[in-house]
Amino acid sequence: MTTPRFVWVAVALAVSGRFAGCLWPLRPDEAGFLLVARAWDPQPDALFHPYFVDRPPSLVALVRLVDLLGGPYALRVVGAAACAAAVLLVAALVRELARHLSVRVAVAPLHLVTVGAALLTAAFLVNPQIDAVGVKGELLGVPVVLASCLVALMALRRRSLAAAAAAGFLAMAAVGLKQSLVGGLVFGAVLLLVACVTKRLSLLDTTRLATAALLGGCVPVALTVGWAVAAGVELATLEYAVIGFRSDASAVIVAQSNAANASRIGTLLLVFAGTGMALVLLWCLARLRIALRHVPAPVVAAVVMLVVDLTVIALSGSFWRPYLFPLVAPLMVLWACVRVADLPDLRHGDSLALRASGTWRPRREVVLVALCVGSSIVSLAVWTSNNWRNGDPPRQYEVGRAIAEVAEADETLVVYGGRADLQWASGLDSPYEHLWSLPMRTMDPELARLRSLLAGPEAPEWFVTTVGLGAWDGIGQKALSPVLESRYVDLGVECEGVVVRRRADAPEVATPTPDCETPLGRR
């Protein structure tokens, strides 16, 4: 079955929607991953020495490879390609679900459903209300999770052990991009379980497919462990960075809860509604009973997958907007199940005659898709105008650039508050291992290591704060104020909340003068 031509329109929307973001400076997480990847020197007690990040080594390895091949901004191109791949995978998933039906469906309505699903996917992935700029594991993992769902459906239909193994491999590969991307694992497991309970699969076939999927899922884990052993990294070090840290970090988030988290919850809910995700979910739930009659195993698997992903967001404690990207896969699988189950049965005549008869009128669905696509296009236009012509520049990045213009190449800088984009823009190394605030607060809770660094012989020439020392229950004020007052000088740089200090005994340099007012598009 050929791909409808309008699916390629959705692909073009997915790629072009990420274009404006390719011109924006690196976001904090992107810059942090890049700094970690470039300096990566694994040690027995440090997975990503000299820095720390709580991510699987496969993600950092990908960032390093992309950087070597295309430079620091090449990851944005990979992100656009991931969006295009997600659109094509959703289109393929719709067609695969149609093959699971016990009836023959009309081609023209199936094409319309395919195009609608593709457009929805593109709209969600490029909507600036979530993030049309930064590329991280949440975005890169979407096509991998979708691919695992697609191959799992193929394995169920064909009773294919190879496809089941591939589904398991892809599902675990997504976890290698972000630990919380467990949707593929959940979908595959529930799909087999429900297929067995509903007698679509025999117990023997279920066991064989599950074993193949399990073996496939073990491959990425084995590769990661094998690399760690070969690199001399202790397995306890690997385990803490990838798994154990999250437990400690969650306790810190709860203990230091603040108004910002509550605000982000509200923002996340508004974005969930504003992008149209909430409407799609409500529409799917309203049609769930019909879908359960025709494709019960995929529907139940998609619902459980969505519940798990929503639970992961609720338990995250941080509620950043890109956390909505992982919801794209379960939402689109559920949408595809519901729409395919609602297709007409082609028993008499061709699809054109069936459409002409008026028995299938997808008007509400078309309006829903149009609303989501419209939200994305309007948001892209507003974002581009506000950020390039009339809005604020990336102030932290501008401060980093200003420091780079006056600093010596062998100097070092520490950013308190976790803005790796400022660190990256400065071009200076950090003698402190933490480029993000959460690892700093978790692994150096009293800031003893940072205080010792600032007071010792390896103290950085530059110390920049992007949040006040009174943040997070005032840990910075208690631990750092004395050493900063005695050893550092405030240079008086004016850039909304950013304070730049220089070590008093360091060679004198010109004062950095960042442009924190002029939008990028007006320079």
Is residue 315 classed exposed, middle or buried when 0-12, 13-18 and 19+ CB atoms within 10 A define those classes?
A: exposed
Residue 5 pLDDT: 85
Residue 328 pLDDT: 98
Residues 207 and 214: their CA atoms lie apart, in Å, by: 10
Which residue shows structure tokens 């309008």? Answer: 6
Residue 362 pLDDT: 60
- Residue from 178, 176, 164, 179 nearest 214 by CA: 164
Q: Are 407 and 461 in contact (CB under 8 A)?
A: yes
Q: Kind of pairing, strands 462-465 and 499-503? A: antiparallel
Q: Which two tokens stand for residue 29?
A: 């997480």
Average pLDDT, the chain: 92
Residue 349 pLDDT: 39
Q: Which two tokens stand for residue 157?
A: 């239909």
Task: Give the tens place of pLDDT for each residue, 473-519.
Answer: 899 999 999 999 999 999 999 888 899 999 999 999 999 999 988 88
State how far Cα 405 lies from the chain centre.
Answer: 33
Rg (CA), the chain: 25
Q: Are 56 and 177 in contact (CB under 8 A)?
A: yes
Low-confidence ranges of the chain (pLDDT < 50): 346-360
Q: Alpha helix locations (H) across 295-394?
A: 296-316, 328-341, 351-356, 363-385
Q: Kind of pairing, strands 413-416 and 499-503? A: unpaired
pTM of the full structure: 0.94
Residue 357 pLDDT: 41
